[in-house]
Copies of this chain bind each other. A is one copy, B any other.
Amino acid sequence: MKKPLILIANDDGIFAPGIKALVEAVKGLGEVVVVAPDSPQSGMGHAITINQPLRLNPVNMFEGIESYSCTGTPADCVKLAKNVLFKDRTIDLCVSGINHGSNASINIIYSGTMSAAMEASLEGIPSVGFSLLDYSFTADFTAATLIAHKIARFVLQNRVHNLYNVNIPKLPLEEIKGIKICRQGQATWVEEFQEGTDPRGQKYYWLTGKFENKDAGKDSDLYALENGYVSVVPSDHDLTSYQVMEKLTGMEIL
């Protein structure tokens, strides 16, 4: 049987420790190719580059693994892999991450990690975004690597769905209680802008914020993570609010 082709992308950039962990996690599962941004792209959401050309440079980052750095966004990396590198081959799985920091709850909206996975899923490629709840550059990816391996294997073997948002608590493996299938928790960013004056006397604003869990449910990803579980949210790119559709039908707008 042919080895499955596995694409790895991320948003922290090709030099981030998290992508190295992801290579370790999936290299035993198939033929692995890495296409990742050449610099950090956190908070890029589902940005794509349309007004500029993109570059794709082969790099020698991971032993024995074909790897490229890309000048674009996480979504651009997946588009280039699909349409330039593997025009004539099927990508069997796309994994993105492992992100340094949470993409649970509404963070999915802002997440470059999840945008790479979502882009692949829009192309029909089963995809998983992985995030570890540890922002540190020196985060310990030991448990996350093992969990990513198992979930990637599951998704390769079970074609139930095309897009998963996986978040892993910052805990040693023995303290992780298991995996929970969850819904996206409701939360909000209470934001402030740090105001300052630059060296030329011009005012600037710099985003800062505090994440607030607004969800009391025990089936949310936030609840799972707070209680020591890995959260797995099957996600979608159909944003229609079907309940509201029904409510609106028949209302006089024009």
Contact = CB atoms under 8 A, between A and B. Distances in A.
A75 B206 CA distance: 14
B50 A43 contact: yes
Contacts of A40: 51
A interface SS class: mixed
Interface string A163-193: 1010000000000001101111010110111
Given A183-B238, A239-B237, A43 B53 contact: no
A248 interface: yes
Interface stretch (A2-10, A19-27, A59-67, A104-112): A104-112
Interface string A220-243: 000000000010111111111110
A123 B242 CA distance: 21
Interface of A: 40, 42-56, 75-76, 79-80, 82-84, 106, 108-110, 115, 118, 122-123, 147, 150-151, 154, 158, 160-161, 163, 165, 178-179, 181-184, 186, 188-189, 191-193, 195-196, 198, 202-207, 230, 232-242, 244-245, 247-249, 251, 253-254
Given A45-B45, A179-B254, 20 more contacts: A43-B49, A44-B45, A45-B47, A45-B48, A47-B47, A53-B205, A53-B206, A54-B204, A79-B193, A82-B191, A84-B193, A150-B254, A154-B251, A160-B247, A178-B254, A181-B245, A233-B239, A233-B245, A234-B241, A234-B248
